Chains A and B, each alone.
Chain A
Amino acid sequence: MVSTEAPARVQRGPLPRDLHPGAWWGWALALAAAASATTNPVVLLLVIAVAWLVVVSRRSEAPWARAFRFFLWFGLVIVVLRVAYRIVFGGGSTPDDVVLLSLPEIPLPDIVRGVRLFGDVTLSSVLAGLYDGLRLAAVIICIGAANALANPQRLLTSIPPALYEVGTALVVALAVFPQLAESVQRVRRARRLRGEPSAGVGALRRVVVPVLEDALERSMTLAAGMDARGYGRSGGVPRRDRAVTGVLMLAGLFGLCVGTYAFLDQTAPRLLAWPMLAVGVLLAALGFHRAGRRVHRTRHRPDPWRSAEWLTVGCGLAAAVLMQFVAPAAAFPSLTGAPKVSLLAIAAVLVAAVPAFATPEPRPMR
């Protein structure tokens, strides 16, 4: 059969690519902000579901992407702990509370009056623990989602040039932790080959000394290697330029300090408040810009920021902003009845799910 349609020579639609890490972090932080603005369990569960949905549909096959389940478990642990805490330390029960479980109260000495151990477990106290724990869990799961979606190291390398050196230091520091863990494991294993020194300080020293020596040696090697590869090249910036940048930064910081003080202290002259704050920000920004220009460095294949990134961050922000308009009764439901759900809250969270479909797929690992 002959097809009547012309063959599609120009294929449309976004090609798979990795989104800018900043976009995912912006989205996730905004979603976390939305979650922190409510204790409604239905909305919070929806937030977790949305985070999960976006993660499973847009995460790559990289190792950090697999860490998301740890955050889910962590969230569960938080909820369980919160509820358990409410049960153990009970709450002052009011007459109209529904008592779920009557535990014998353990009498405590007078010094810790105000603390109750066990006793009646009421519905409202358990619900309060549950809602509160759920909120914290949702926030943490949002951070976990950002972690799974975006390479945290790549995020650090996309910071402005003036902070380049700080960024590299952070990247290197992040790499140290797995190495340190490896080192500790190796030394602990080696300890069995020599017999354990008497427990206590000796045993601690037995592990700490070789691990620290190892870490120190590694950092010296790394520092030498980085230096040999041009880290911290001055790039021939005249001394006067550096001095000007320094003065701008210091003046900017001074302005910011004075402005903030005046802003908070209502008795200070108003001229020192907003105007000073603005001048401080301006000077600091100028200094920052100059410092960035002074750094003669380039980026190899920087992540682009295109419409998909704007969309992702926009969806997150929309969720956070819309959540502010949810009626308090729906946002913070009472602990005595079934929580009321507002359509606005549901809509707000669902907006944050849009990046799961509207962004390009991640690039497959080669």
Chain B
Amino acid sequence: MIDLRHVTFAYDGESSATLHHVDLHIPEGELALVAGRTGSGKSTLLGMLNGLVPHFTGGVLRGDVRIAGESIVGRPPRELAHLVGYVGQDPAAGFVTHTVEEELAYGMEQLGLPPSTMRRRVEETLDLLGMADLRERALRTLSGGQQQRVAIGSVLTMHPRVLVLDEPTSALDPTAAEDVLATIARLVDDLALTVVLAEHRMERVIPFADQLVIVEDGTVRSGPPADLLADSPVAPPLIELGRLAGWDPLPLSVREARRHVRTEPFVLTAPPRRAEPAGASLLEAEGITVAYGATRAVDDVDIALRAGEVLVVMGRNGSGKSSLLWAIQGTGSRRSGRVRVGVDGVDPAEVTADEARMLVGLVPQTAADLLYLETVTDECAAADAQAGAPTGTCRELLNRLAPGIDSTHHPRDLSEGQRLALVLAIVLTARPRVIALDEPTRGLDYRAKAELADVLRGLAEDGHGIILSTHDVEFAATVADTVAVMADGEVVSRGPVERVLAESPAFAPQVSKVLGPQWLTVGQVERTLL
């Protein structure tokens, strides 16, 4: 269905090609998972399949790209809309109309299909995606998972032969992500659609994938997932566990891994229990309530944080995690409740913004909102001046968090991980004892997440208290001491990480699904084996 022959692509003004000599074949009706580190060229590869690269991005493409037997080189995306459906990273940013039904029909209107056909296909697609009850809802009021499914539906109505998805679940909570992936798997089964999908959190997709495409340093390798994963630069915890234990073939699903454990018993002593955080109390929040109009985003929540503790807040999109973090920092609105930080018990909401920043530092979800200057050096200098810190403080922090960032770079040109490190350094320059991070793992690959986890553990060991929200179960398992699960504005479960994560079917990390609730990460297993 998809054939790339000797494809080489270079962006304008770049000396080295982003992708070179790519040969790739994806048969009809298969699901291909594209994996690789951030910035390796995954999105470039996906964009080539519908002409967005090079028509939209500029650059020089050599070689031949064929879809369903036709060469598509030189054809713009709009002329390929009936052949290739493309869904970008942020579904909400790509919506053209305002309601679900109009959005589903939009592509068909462009193709000029007769109204009766449109009507039928809209209904079929609503049923296929299980969204018939949402048909008249405004797109902005939908949850992230629903928006993603509408975005997929809106290209499906054009009956494309190929569906290209760029990180369809990166912004979704675990349950919504399962939902979207189950939908995609059904499309492959029922419609024989060819799906090409890029994803950072591979662990959910690998069981469905027929073919794995690894993009690394501009080259592309493809083949059956089990073969390629043996030496892939990015791998989910399950594969790392398999590599560690020397299982062959590597387990692609939790079920296969359990079978390995049963047949080749894994001799392990129980993992050392994580020491309970015992530092001095840094932050106490009581009865925090945040209301927007009549809805209670956060409802009477208590939070306690000690020095050296990492507290991870999990829960669905819209369960009140962000509102809680902003309320604790003092900048977000708060209906009632009290926050006491440090020995003096100062409430950050009752002091000036400058003083609040020295009590609790917050890295918001869109970290780039904090950046506004042209170079990394300028940003660091501004941060020093704003915090009244000695010159060079911020840069030094940045070097510790992410060594080797060129100081003349524009902050927008940094990778996601580097930009996050820069914002974190800026926030840390004000020397807050408590650090709050809202969804810091968005767009980070496995290695960047591991680095972030090291940074956060390091900060905790220095006596900081860290509270962060994330959807990423595996990341939470690596970094957390304590976990609080929020639903509908309330904390529904809270306690040591082993207990809370393993207790819940949606939040259990892969390693505990295989080895039992006392195990959380591959790192733990590795340490016991040594």
Contact = CB atoms under 8 A, between A and B. Distances in A.
A229 B81 contact: yes
Contact of A196 (B96, B97, B353): B353
A189 interface: yes
A298 B112 CA distance: 5
Contacts of B135: 366
Interface string A299-332: 1111000000000000000000000000000000
A63 interface: yes
B96 A168 contact: yes
B96 A194 contact: no
B427 interface: yes
Nearest to B91: A225
B370 A229 contact: no
Given A210-B369, A227-B52, A227-B77, A193 B412 contact: no
A362 to B, nearest CB: 13
B77 A228 contact: yes
A194 B77 CA distance: 41
A238 interface: no
B148 interface: no
Nearest to B105: A300
A190 B364 contact: yes
B260 interface: no
Nearest to A233: B78
Interface string A206-243: 10011001100010011111111111111100000000
Contacts of A214: 366, 368
A366 B353 CA distance: 44
A299 B369 contact: no
B362 interface: yes
Interface in A172-213: 172, 175, 178, 186-187, 189-190, 192-197, 205-206, 209-210, 213
Contact of A222 (B50, B94, B332): B94
Interface stretch (B64-72, B204-212, B382-390, B490-498): B382-390
Interface residues of A, number: 48
A209 B426 CA distance: 18
Contact of A221 (B90, B138, B369): B90
A296 to B, nearest CB: 4
A260 interface: no
B109 A299 contact: yes
Interface string A332-366: 00000000000000000000000000000000011
Given A195-B354, A230-B78, A365-B136, A222 B93 contact: yes
B442 to A, nearest CB: 15
Contacts of B82: 230
Q: Which of B50, B368, B369, B383 has the most CB of A within 10 A?
A: B369
Nearest to A236: B79
B278 to A, nearest CB: 30
B136 A366 contact: yes
A297 interface: yes
A195 B110 contact: no
A365 B386 CA distance: 51
Interface in B344-389: 353-354, 356-357, 361-362, 364, 366, 368-372, 382-383, 386-387
Contact of A299 (B115, B364, B386): B115
A219 to B, nearest CB: 9
A195 B387 contact: yes
A171 interface: yes
A298 B108 contact: yes
Contacts of B154: 229
Contact of B112 (A171, A178, A297): A297
Given A205-B372, A233-B110, A298-B108, A226 B136 contact: no
A36 interface: no
B364 A171 contact: no
B93 A225 contact: yes
A233 B109 CA distance: 11
A300 B81 contact: no
A194 B426 contact: yes
Contacts of B427: 193-194
Interface in B77-121: 77-79, 81-82, 84-86, 88, 90, 93-98, 101-102, 105-115, 118-119
Contact of B78 (A153, A210, A231, A366): A231
B38 interface: no
A209 B78 contact: no
B134 to A, nearest CB: 10
Contact of A195 (B136, B326, B430): B430
B329 interface: yes
B476 interface: no
A333 to B, nearest CB: 45
Contacts of B50: 228
B164 to A, nearest CB: 9
Contacts of A63: 138
A233 B136 contact: no
Contacts of B332: 189
Given A193-B329, A225-B88, A228-B77, 11 more contacts: A171-B97, A186-B369, A192-B356, A194-B426, A214-B366, A221-B93, A222-B93, A228-B52, A228-B86, A230-B111, A232-B78
